Structure 1
């Protein structure tokens, strides 16, 4: 934990030292924010990711997987100068259809916007900025799959806004939580909460959760983020349960866990150099009771971080294209701690190194190639070669 925090502090400090004469990154927006700020009555956009993945296990190449990983269509409608509706319709692997976002936004004041509907939980970088041309690498960081878990969205309402004089942006939402138990447990040690995302699909709520994020952009070229998430998982055991049913309440209480999550992130760009880092910690209570009821192996603490750096070798030339070699180092452990008699599984303590490059033919069109080295504390090693096409318009 101390090493992780130290690495991020060093990144923040180095960014501040070299942040002279660099444009402010406050203008960077994700796809939904871009449509939200459009002056058009009806706005249409989209992004797509097409992948080639070839695993390498024990030095032997496996059959490659080719996939239209995702195709997302975005629509926004402006009812008035202050009121907008934004939605994202996602097709994954050609055959799976999801609503990724669907929310109403009303601006009372520049620093006070009401937002309600199906929204992204503002945790880390990738969960909000996951359009393929916005990140290096064919695949998103695995930290954002195993711990965060991207793409994480739930139904709720709250407020957002910015205080430009203080260079501060905020988001505060009350939302439904993870589906932790619905006829069986959904949480597990290998990927934490990922199977519990309700995604707005007939979601149910036994208790609310609170998600917040604060972004600071007062230093040119640097953006710092602090995210929090607190609440309990949801359980179908509470449905129709009477307060006088002590035995039923005891079972229901064993089917939920308390979740406290903290995220720190940083993005920095100066000339051709760019870097980003992220740290996520999750503390989980009641896991001994939950695992005993569900037969799962959920840990009581998860911890992960990554650092990434790249350089645009075309910077300073007379072209708008970008060619960015990069390297990313990430460590994430979904069994950082366990409770009761549950033994720590070293296979869940993982280290990934990704080395590759991206060629931005235009602002919203990129070709990507990289190789990933996977290892864990159980001495299992593998790799994967990736090629990808990313589009955003």
Structure 2
């Protein structure tokens, strides 16, 4: 029923728009690497991005070694079977030795308004989860709330629709996807957030679909506004093989899942070298009290998954080379303030202030040529239980082609 309603709604919406839609898209839209390659000519499509990072804790009385890491390198391979049917994949190498598939989906253009997608896709929530290439976010590391609230890079297997309603300056996405895993013999979720529940399309278990959708408005030059929503239940291995008449087994399986209802708002504005950006997330977790009791530790201590999570950040950046007509590179200082709480509320007991955190990140980026960057920043992070910020110096190389 939910799938049919989404399909019908999108067809009705596209039918209401009478103006002619062209294949050209406005310059003030944001595109990740997959979206850019989908628009390129030729059958075979090749691209890539990556980052090499240096992270050095500083300050304090205890000396700590820094970490140097080829954090990630991603090769994008795509193929156009026809003008309307294309395939996109991203193969990710992390820390030199780990290999993942970040995206692998088939897209078919139904008409100028509607494209069907199926496969492993990024969940359209917030900014960074979709736009996570090094030249699309400020700083060596991605914003911290995009690790803890929306767990970048969050992708699952699913199907749905995306497209552009150009006369209304709207981009939309609507998918039914696989959900987080909450139980596979032990708890997968806790007070640190949802990140460990990502299944990433790797032999994922499936017991109920989740809905993910986003609408973006780009009708004002330089401005992009987004609203995202995600809703559904987590997945559990306890549903596999359970007798439908076994009420005790069904009750145990029900206790091993939680409901996730997440929404987000984001805004980006760019004018004359000035860039302003911000986003806000809130996630409500239902059944968390029962889940925490069911997944208690061996000593009987309940798990600490919160009943809600939230977070936001605001960021400002300015390209100081913008006024220089003969300089074609970009030198951009920036500053970002982040605040997030992965245990914003709980159904029972008291919240743990150690999960209530804030961060200030300030740095400088030099984009020598389009898609080739050097980055440095200082990161200051503090929880509500700490009196001083934990400081880290970061430097890195970023590329996208």
Distance 1:115 1:46 in 2: 21
Q: 8 Å contact 1:24–1:220 — kept in the other structure?
A: no
Structure 2 equivalent of residue 377 of structure 1: 384
Cα distance change, pair 156–223 in 1 and its aligned pair in 2 (3 A)? same
Query: Which of residues 178, 181, 188 in structure 1 aligns to 2:180?
Result: 178
Gaps of 5+ in 1: 1-22
- Structure-2 change in CA distance of 1:136 and 1:147 (3 Å): same
Determine the C-alpha separation between the residues in 2 that align with 1:220 and 1:269.
Answer: 8
The equivalent of 2:370 in structure 1 is: 363
Match of 1:325 in 2: 333
User: How many angstroms does 1:58 deviate by?
Assistant: 2.9
CA distance in 1, matches of 2:257, 2:54: 39
Q: Is the CA contact 2:28–2:223 (under 8 Å) kept in the aligned structure 1?
A: no
What is the aligned partner in structure 1 of residue 395 from structure 2? Answer: 387
1:48 aligns with 2:55: no
Give the counterpart of 1:334 among 326, 342, 364. Answer: 342
Does residue 1:130 correspond to 2:138, yes or no?
Answer: no
What pairs with 1:140-151 in structure 2 (closer than 5 Å)? 140-151=142-153
8 Å contact kept, 2:28–2:221: no
Q: Secondary structure at the match of 2:203?
A: coil
Q: State the secondary structure of the residue aligned to 1:174.
A: strand
Preserved CA contact (<8 Å) 2:29 2:218: no
Check whether the contact 1:35–1:75 (CA below 8 A) recurs between aligned residues.
no
Q: Are 1:351 and 2:358 counterparts?
A: yes
Return closer, same or farther for 1:34/1:365 CA change in 2, 3 Å cut-off.
same
Give me the whole-angstrom Cα distance separating, in 1, the residues matched to 2:328 and 2:76: 26
Kept in 2, the 8 Å contact 1:355–1:371? The answer is yes
Pick closer, same or farther for the CA change 1:61–1:309 going to 2, 3 Å.
Answer: farther
Indicate whether 1:226 and 2:233 are aligned.
Answer: no
2:207 — aligned with what? Answer: 206
Residue 308 of structure 1, CA deviation? 0.2
Q: Can you list the C-alpha shifts for 1:308-330, whole angstroms capped at 9, x where unaligned?
A: 00110000212220000000000
- Asked if 2 retains the 8 angstrom alpha-carbon contact of 1:226 and 1:265, the reply is yes
Aligned length: 369
Deviation at 1:62, TM superposition (A): 1.4
> Quick one: distance in 2 between partners of 1:76 and 1:134?
21
What CA distance in whole angstroms lies between the structure 1 residues aligned with 2:59 and 2:261?
A: 36
Kept in 2, the 8 Å contact 1:287–1:298? The answer is yes
Query: What secondary structure is seen at the aligned counterpart in 2 of 1:299?
Result: coil
Deviations 1:184-224 (A, max 9, x none): 1100112x110010000001111100000000001110000
Distance 1:221 1:24, change over 3 A: farther
Question: Which segment drifts farther, 221-230 or 25-34?
Answer: 25-34
| Secondary structure at the counterpart of residue 294 of structure 2 | helix
- Runs of at least 5 residues in structure 2 that lack an aligned partner in the other structure: 1-24, 297-302
Q: How does 1:1-393 map to 2 (within 5 A)?
A: 25-56=27-58, 58=60, 60-190=62-192, 192-295=193-296, 296-317=303-324, 318-341=326-349, 343-379=350-386, 381-393=389-401
Q: Secondary structure at the match of 1:282?
A: strand
Q: Secondary structure at the match of 2:110?
A: strand
Question: CA separation of 1:357/1:61 partners in 2, compared to 1, >3 Å: closer, same or farther?
Answer: farther
Is 1:178–1:197's contact at 8 Å kept on the other side of the alignment? Answer: yes
Q: Tell me, what secondary structure is at the counterpart of 2:167?
A: helix
Cα distance in 1 between the residues matched to 2:167 and 2:374: 38
**Aligned-partner SS, 1:284:** strand
Secondary structure of 1:204's aligned partner: coil
SS at match of 1:212: strand
TM-score normalised to structure 1 length: 0.92
Q: CA RMSD in A?
A: 1.2
1:24 Cα shift?
5.9
For residues 342 and 399 of structure 2, the distance between their equivalents in structure 1, rounded to whole angstroms, comes to 32
Alpha-carbon spacing, 1:281–1:59, altered in 2? closer, same or farther (3 Å): farther
Instruction: Say which structure, 1 or 2, has more relative contact order (CA 8 Å, 6+ apart).
Output: 1
TM-score by length of 2: 0.90
Supply the distance in 2 between the matched residues of 1:162 and 1:101 (Cα, whole angstroms).
21
